[in-house]
Amino acid sequence: MWRIIVLWTVIVSLVTSDMVSYEGYKVFSLYPSINRQLKVLQLSMQQFNNWFWKQPSKIDEEVQILVPPNQLQSFYEIVDIMRITVKIKIDNVQKLINNTIPQNQSQGFDFQSYHTLEEIYEYLEELAKKYPNKVQVVVGGKTYEGRQIKGVKITNRENSPGIFIEGGIHAREWISPATAMYILHQLLFSNDTNVRYVADNHNWFIFPIFNPDGYAFTFNKTHGDRLWSKSRKPYSPYCIGANLNRNWDFRWNSSDVSKNSCSDTYPGNKAFSEIETKTMSEYIKSVNDQLYAYIAFHSYGQLLMIPYGYTNAHIFNYDHLHNISLKGIKALRQKYNTVYRTGNIGELFSNLPSGLSVDYMAGVLNKSVVYLYKLRDKNEYGFLLPPEYIIPTGEETLDSLVAMYIVIMWKIIALCTMGIAADNVINDMTSYENYKVFRIRPDKYLQLEVLQALKNSNEFRYWQEPIGLGKEVHILVPPHKLTHFYEIMNDYNMFHILQIRNVQELINNTMSQSQSQNFDFNSYHTLEKIYDNLDELAKRYPGQVQVIVGGRSYEGREIKGVKVSMSNKTRPGIFIEGGIHAREWISPATVMYILHQLLFSNDTNVRYVADNHNWFIFPIFNPDGYVYSFTKDRLWTKNRQPSSSFCTGSNLNRNWKFQWSTAGVSNDPCSEVYPGGRPFSEPETSYMSHYIRSNHFYAYISFHSYGQQLLYPCSYLNVPHYYQINSIAIEALKKEYNTQYETGCITKFQLLSGGLSTDYVANVVGIPFVYLYKLHDKNEYGFLLPSKQIIPTGKETFDFFIAICNETLELIIMWKLLVFCTIVGFVAAEQATFNNYKVIRFNATTRRQAKLFYELTKNHDGFSYWIAPFANKQAELMVAPHKLPEFYETMKQMQIPYTVFIENVQALINRAAPARASSTFDFKNYHTLDVINKNLDDLAKQYPKIVQTVVGGQTYEGRQIKGVKVSFKANNPGVFIEGGIHAREWISVATVMYILHELLKSDNSEIRALAESHDWYIFPSFNPDGYVYTHTKNRLWRKTRKQYSSFCYGSDPNRNWGYKWNTGGSSNSACSETYAGNAPFSEIETKTMSKYIDSISGKLYAYIAFHSYSQLLLFPYGHTTAHLDNYNDLYDIGVKTATALEKKYGTHYTVGNVAETIYVASGGSMDWVKGTYGTPITYTYELRDTGRYGFLLPADQIIPTGEEIMDSLVTMFKEAKARGYPKKTRKIEAN
């Protein structure tokens, strides 16, 4: 290996300031056949990639290396040592260079030779003069050396779709500008009918040279370099330029780049550091709305590639782009038999190049059609393609563009974005002839992961998504994908059953039965008939039924419903939502059935329920989609507002403003679960959310299909009587037809999803009873339930209504809709118990395993993480007794070893609780807030000249956040000590109190010196409301007590500070223990304490926070693993501090940056102090223990913990002083 390094070091030293000569230089092809050879080449490339013409990517794939003549002997020795196959490709590089450089000045622009920048620009001006109404010269940007980046715009029609062509971003790739110019020439002059069709039906933005400075340098005969690639901005006295195709602001600097500014893959010192990329990106953004396609030309390799480069994962519309590119490479081959390969950039280049222009276009500017050509040749000439190849290269490249962009392309994109094979499309209704639906039940985690990966690949459409082991998956397979489907089933040994043999037959059955002239429940009806029936009912019952319009759709239709009220008296309200997903026809039909029963039924129970409520009934939330499902595509689910150039619609049940786009969605605008560009981006959801908020009701029922499930928001997991009500409802559903329904939290039966209407209504509007009802059937018909099942579905659903309302109505009337608050009050009056709850420790060995396990247990009743799972890090999970069998089975399936660390949580709680309420302060017990605050007052009285009580802030429930200032003499540097920000961490509060007592009372000389040389600001409990709650209601409560929804209280006060707030390690769910609040400083506790800290910030040089548990000494930052500010000092001080702490009792602490040592956690108090004020000495202790007791450390460990912490603080401040502190540090921002 070292011989290769030496060789390349010598090569690099040969570059001079004169015109570089490559006389006698040779290019060799190497073929690594084993992994060791590949690794050696890759390591060499990292330092000397300038000399790798073709980079090492995979075993048995060609690598090309440039070798100078005086190093040939060393090179041969090295390849002999490596035992690698080698062939000479170019015998003398300079000869090829001479062939490419024009020998005589051209008299006019042609394609017989390569042209200088000036000649190319002159020709662009000439074309603009020749076609003044069509061709316009445009300056898109400028260069470091002051040149213009010049191109042309060809306008055929004002609103024609635009195609952008980029050339010459790498200076040495002369064939790229030449090909771009050839295409420009043909678009204007060709008489070929296909070329004319493509040329005249688009507008064109053509920039042949993105890198004018570099291109000019490759032509410079006095001090240039024909093989120069980069820009020309100096980065050091010896290193010039950045790679312009690594400098774009999408995944910049994430892979396949070099930090060495002399390297050919140096990406610049930041994204858009180069004026070329910065100005061109601004120009492209200015015309972005005119573009639908972007083509970049490079050389060499004969590849037609699809984004992205930074990953080998496929872009959302990869299949569509790949189908088109296959036509392109077929056309490339026809004229000269030039063989191209096609695929994802990251697959074809395993080193994963990042910061590419094409990735920026796809990933930031959302262009749906983006390609990168690597032009001729494959290896014979490399970057030095002779000029006689310009015309053949131009001809075949134009052929490929024509093949890709004529009518067939438009059809393929339009059809494939709907997920339908081109041969199945007719002018009227989409056909699903011979489409099949299969049932799969994954019983191994590998099978589950494969099914989830297939979902992301858009190869198939899921009717029921893969959510867990043993959970049935339903998948729609087009006929042309059947072979591939069967291969996957066979490869992964997945048991599957054919559920629907021919989807079109079922569609025909539902469509043919929908032609009834009168409104009935024997067939499905159009939107017009449903709306007519609503109007008819309002005329028939003018005093009881009122037609209401809740909003309008994108296409201008009304979202029509009715309000049913049987008397003028105030009645509790129920809201019924139907048809938010267009294809779920049984939903509007069932809603209409319920409406008719409420009006016409003579059953006494029905009349009681109907007459004692106000009803807000909207059968179709998605009118445009519903109409489209009748006229164009029976399986359409979204609305009809365009979401991109080729994709229409958003999923209206992912577009609501609660946890929008956090899970269960896709960023692909063509996907069925695309959530829209922002919350309430769709007029349907925006209008209906306003209407919902403006009316009063206590229950909200949303009807969907299919699955036979009665679901409720996960925030209702612990709401009293919900299980009781659900059990009654399930029994009622069985009564008429013995239909089996399941019940539970939404995420128990479907993937975690954000932006649901039911979640919004429950958590934002605060409605106490919310259900998501998945109607018939389980699997036989799916979304295509025959109309003969409308009445049975309606009957049993109405039975459910009667059961629910009879159970709750009396209470609701009695308490005037305050029943839920009353129920919550009952809960609050009870003490939470954790009998037989266990805490279990395990290690997830991979990131995927950790994420999968977290998702499987997230938001499920009975699971609570004490330490969340991360790859190769210890996790601790508290499991309720009723969840233990499920947990053990999951661990068995995932083959994760585990240890039961705490057998019975309640037993530890009992042990940690004081035997009796103590009014005397000591360190043998944990104390209540009142006892602690009284002790602070007592100390102020005992030491009136030293101790002063201070109120730093206040709480949501009106308590003071009380602390003390301890000062032995004026003008001492300040130290702030924070405790109890997390309520359940009692040892934190106790330890802070121990420190305070020691600072005042200890006769140890070192402690006395520490105490008297500083001013101390000590706050034992930052979260008084939460701390009180742990003593009175729930020992394991963590957060504040501010109410965020009907069922969710508090935010994590250590995720609520205004520095890098909510950027990682926090949750947007108000019920989560890491909920960050709805804004920085949304909690009065953090807001008022931040103001107090701000008022004394100039006096502080140290901030110490105490938490538990894990025995860690952490320092900033939590949002990034980057080593910022005075990282080295903090680490060194921390190590010595931990060593001192360990001496007395052998308690070992781990030291490090928060994000590196445990996990990303943003919005913390310590980070805010450090990031805002540059306070140099900032640490967070995670106190005893490492899991034996967890948050429930027995009181007999208070004194030992306090003693070892005092020892550590003495050392900490000694070491800080030795390094010149107190002093402020310069705050360094992470990229």
For residue 138, the surrounding DSSP H or E stretch is strand 135-142
C-alpha span between 46 and 29 (Å, rounded): 18
Q: Which token pair is 386?
A: 């002779």
CB atoms within 10 A of CB 311: 18
C-alpha span between 12 and 426 (Å, rounded): 63
Residue 964: strand, helix, or coil: strand
Residues 820 and 879: beta-carbon distance below 8 Å: no
How far is CA 633 from each of CA 317, 319, 418, 507, 583, rounded to the nearest angstrom? 20, 21, 10, 10, 9
C-alpha span between 121 and 115 (Å, rounded): 10
C-alpha span between 450 and 790 (Å, rounded): 36
C-alpha span between 985 and 277 (Å, rounded): 52
C-alpha closest to that of 588 among 535, 626, 644: 626
Cis preceding linkage at 1117, omega within 30:
yes
Residue 648: strand, helix, or coil: strand
Residues 1087 and 956: beta-carbon distance below 8 Å: no
| Half-sphere exposure in the Cβ direction for 168 (13 Å, CA) | 29
C-alpha span between 244 and 266 (Å, rounded): 9
Residues 1102 and 1177: beta-carbon distance below 8 Å: yes
Within 678-768, strands assigned E span: 699-704, 709-712, 742-745
Place of tokens 């460990």: 1197
In this structure, the dihedral spanned by the alpha carbons of residues 1106, 1107, 1109 and 1114, taken in order and rounded to 10 degrees, is -70
C-alpha span between 254 and 354 (Å, rounded): 6
Residue 865: Cβ-neighbour burial (10 angstroms; 0-12, 13-18, 19+): middle
% helix / strand / coil in the chain, to the nearest 5?
A: 40, 20, 40
How far is CA 407 from each of CA 195, 404, 412, 896, rounded to the nearest angstrom? 12, 9, 9, 54
Could you list the active site residues?
A: 1182
How far is CA 240 from each of CA 144, 607, 799, rounded to the nearest angstrom? 11, 85, 78
How far is CA 86 from each of CA 22, 79, 506, 1051, rounded to the nearest angstrom? 21, 8, 62, 64
The total number of residues shown for the chain amounts to: 1231
Residues 570 and 594: beta-carbon distance below 8 Å: no
How far is CA 852 from each of CA 446, 467, 468, 1080, rounded to the nearest angstrom? 11, 10, 10, 30
Radius of gyration of the chain (CA): 35
Q: Which token pair is 879?
A: 């499991």
Q: Which token pair is 455?
A: 């979902």
Residues 306 and 332: beta-carbon distance below 8 Å: no
Residue 829: Cβ-neighbour burial (10 angstroms; 0-12, 13-18, 19+): exposed
How far is CA 178 from each of CA 173, 185, 303, rounded to the nearest angstrom? 9, 10, 17
